[in-house]
Amino acid sequence: MNFLNFSAFDYFADPIIILNAGGRVEFFNKQAIRFSNMFHRAVETGTSFADLISIGRNETVHDILQQITFDRRSRVHELEHHDGKGKVYNLEITYNPIVGETGQLEHIYLTIRETSTERIFQKRATQLVQDLSTLIEKANAVIFGIDSREYITEWNAECSRITGLGKGDVLAKKTDVILEGLFLERFHSLLQDVLHQRPTGNIEFQLRTKTGSPVVVLLNATPRTNASGGLIGILFVGHDITELYQYRQSLEQMVRDKTTKLKMSLEKERELVDIKNRFVSLASHEFRIPLSNIISSVNFIKANSHLDEDALKKTTTIEHQVGHMRTLIEDLLTLGKADAHKLKASHQKIDLMLFLKGIITEVVVNAHHSHQVKVEAPDAGIEIESDEKLLRNIFINLLSNAIKFSPGKSAIFLRVNWTGPFVEITVTDEGIGISEPDLLKIFEPFNRGSNATAIKGTGLGLSIAKKAVDTLGGSLEIQSALQKGTTITVKLNSQILQAHE
């Protein structure tokens, strides 16, 4: 075979050498000449190819040539070749036999490829894979992987530590070996999110363990793809949060227990309030009859008897005490309705100044004219829409308290002002005042100031006034200091119908 006509071989990127059946060079292309620095000696026609390879490796080449002579089969041989100058090359030699018409081996067609760079990258890649495997195995985190069929392919030491399941227990097995029930369903849902490239955050899973004790992990999922971008599996990375999970469960149980207790306490309190309200209502109604009888009897005695001065004083005292009892009963009924959320406003037209004058007269008479009520108000009268009964509860209590808690003084003050839809009424006294600690609980029923124990009262007045103001949708503010008096401002959002002279 005349190879001199095969100049096309010179355009091949790889060195090409054609040997005769005895293993000697008969033809080589230009790339083989450029490649000759990698051989043990120069490439020349008639040279034994085995002699081109460094000592120690040439025997292997010689053996391969003999095998091809015997079986006429192609071979690929990788070897590490030393060029005699201290440099090492990784070569991949492909041997292809050329058989004649008689079936005899005539030539061997060689292609040679230098793979040193590939080997370097391959070694680096192998080392990187080994380092990554070591990192996964030794990481202080839960790391396991699955393939596209949901078979477990990775299971690091931390997984084994927290579950007691070794690699032999889980590798090459389906995920139901580590997950069950609701968590297996959640796991499948997570896989769908990963497959469809939907965002996946931290998700809690409960892993099976060898002992049966639950282990809870917080996992993130990362898809694993091949060179063409196809999904080949998923890697899961997370942390053991069993203690945190149990602590949270404990807190949630405590909250549930507390909520149950609070509900029971609230229900019991409602029952007690209901019992109290029913008792107050019943007792108040029952008290009214004997009180009415007492007043009727007193009036009968006064009308049909000639009483001396001492007896008249006693009947007057009886009338005052009955009035006091009636006021107390009304206060209790109002308080009971407020606690039961049954206190409602019934609006009607009210001449505010005329109404307040009536209240002032009543309060002054009941106080035996011990104080004057000095009024400061606009010249024009004010007609509003509000609830007269609730207004009476408010100002009877505020004015009575102002007089009661300013002993030794001769006057209290009432100011009326209105702007737009708001009416502002202020009651001021120069009495004993209220301490800061007492102000904090001033609206609690039956609460009395620490400096007011010597003054008669029930401690209901301000509580009732506050509830009445709230029912009318207004506000009540108190400013006070010990021995400097008290100012109470009531602000009502009452519809002002008209102002008149």
* Residues 224 and 257 grouped into a single domain: no
Query: Is residue 214 located within the same domain as residue 251?
Result: no
Tell me: do 135 and 102 sit in the same domain: no
Q: How confident is the model at residue 35 (pLDDT cuts 50, 70, 90)?
A: confident
Q: 302 with 392, same domain?
A: no
pLDDT above 60: residue 2: no
Residue 416: domain span = 348-500
CATH number, domain at 382?
A: 3.30.565.10
Mean pLDDT (whole number) for 278-287: 66
Say whether both 403 and 314 belong to one domain. Answer: no
Domain boundary among 339, 371, 392: 339
pLDDT given at position 283: 62
User: The domain spanning residue 80 has which CATH number?
Assistant: 3.30.450.20
Q: Are residues 279 and 174 in the same domain?
A: no
Q: Which of 186, 212, 240 lies at the terminal end of a domain, its last residue?
A: 240
pLDDT tens digits for 217-226? 998 888 888 8
Q: How far apart are CA 390 and CA 463, in angstroms?
A: 13
Confidence bin at 127 (pLDDT 50/70/90): confident
Q: 292 and 259 share a domain?
A: yes
Last residue of a domain, one of 339, 369, 404: 339
- Same-domain pairing of 30 and 108: yes
Indicate whether 87 and 141 sit together in one domain: no
Nearest residue to 43 (alpha-carbon basis) of 63, 69, 24, 68: 24
| 44: number of Cβ within 10 Å | 12
pLDDT band at 38 (very low <50, low <70, confident <90, very high): low
* 378: pLDDT strictly greater than 60: yes
* pLDDT of res. 1: 55
Which tens digit of pLDDT belongs to each residue from 168-220?
999 999 988 988 777 888 888 888 888 777 777 788 888 999 998 889 999 88
Q: Residue 451: pLDDT above 80?
A: no
Among 22-36, 72-86, 393-407, 474-488, the least confident range: 72-86
Q: What percent of the chain has pLDDT over 70?
A: 88
- Torsion region of 402: left, alpha or beta (phi above 0 gives left; psi -120 to 50 gives alpha): alpha
Task: Give the chain's domain count.
Answer: 4
Same domain, 375 and 482: yes
| pLDDT reported for residue 344 | 80
Whether residues 10 and 103 share a domain: the answer is: yes
Mean pLDDT in residue range 400-412: 92
Retrieve residue 343's tokens.
């206190």
Whether 354 and 492 share a structural domain: yes
CA dihedral 81, 82, 87, 93 (to 10 degrees): -20
Q: Which pTM was predicted?
A: 0.45
pLDDT at residue 337 in the model: 66
- Which pLDDT value is given to residue 118? 65
